[in-house]
């Protein structure tokens, strides 16, 4: 199971690396030959595709989840314990 997961991750990383190399080469080639394509690719690469609005509830739930003492991954931190009390 561990070996198959390792192989899978290696293949995914390799594919992503090759895809990024191809995109980079295309961007470099378009710099002087096709400026419209260059700027559209550059704009696409810098666009933020994540959630734009983070509500106070989302923020609160996130920090409650990472500081939940009932979680098996919780490690007590003196600052957090002091803040909670």
pLDDT in tens, 27-81: 888 888 988 988 888 888 777 766 667 788 888 887 777 777 777 666 677 776 7
Q: What contacts 34, CB < 8 A, 6 or more positions away?
A: none
- Alpha helices, DSSP H, located in 1-85: 2-33, 35-46, 56-66, 78-84
pLDDT for position 51: 63
pLDDT for position 60: 83
Distances, alpha carbon 31 to alpha carbons 41, 42, 64, in Å: 10, 10, 47
The stretch 10-16 carries a mean pLDDT of: 93
Query: Mean pLDDT for the chain?
Result: 82
pLDDT for position 16: 92
Closest C-alpha to 77, from 68, 61, 57, 59: 68
Residue 13 has pLDDT above 90, yes or no: yes
Give me the residue label for tokens 């098996």.
72
Residue-wise pLDDT for 14-28, tens only, equals: 999 999 999 889 988
Cβ proximity of 38 and 30 under 8 Å? yes
The SS3 assignment for 52 reads coil
pLDDT for position 84: 72
DSSP character at residue 29: H
């Amino acid at each position: 199971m561990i070996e198959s997961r390792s192989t899978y991750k290696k293949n995914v990383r390799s594919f992503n690396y090759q895809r990024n190399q191809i995109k980079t080469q295309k961007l470099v080639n378009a710099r002087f030959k096709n400026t419209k394509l260059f700027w559209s690719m550059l704009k696409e690469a810098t666009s933020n595709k994540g959630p734009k609005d983070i509500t106070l509830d989302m923020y609160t739930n996130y920090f409650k989840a990472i500081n939940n003492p009932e979680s098996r991954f919780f490690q007590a931190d003196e600052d957090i314990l002091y803040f909670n009390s």
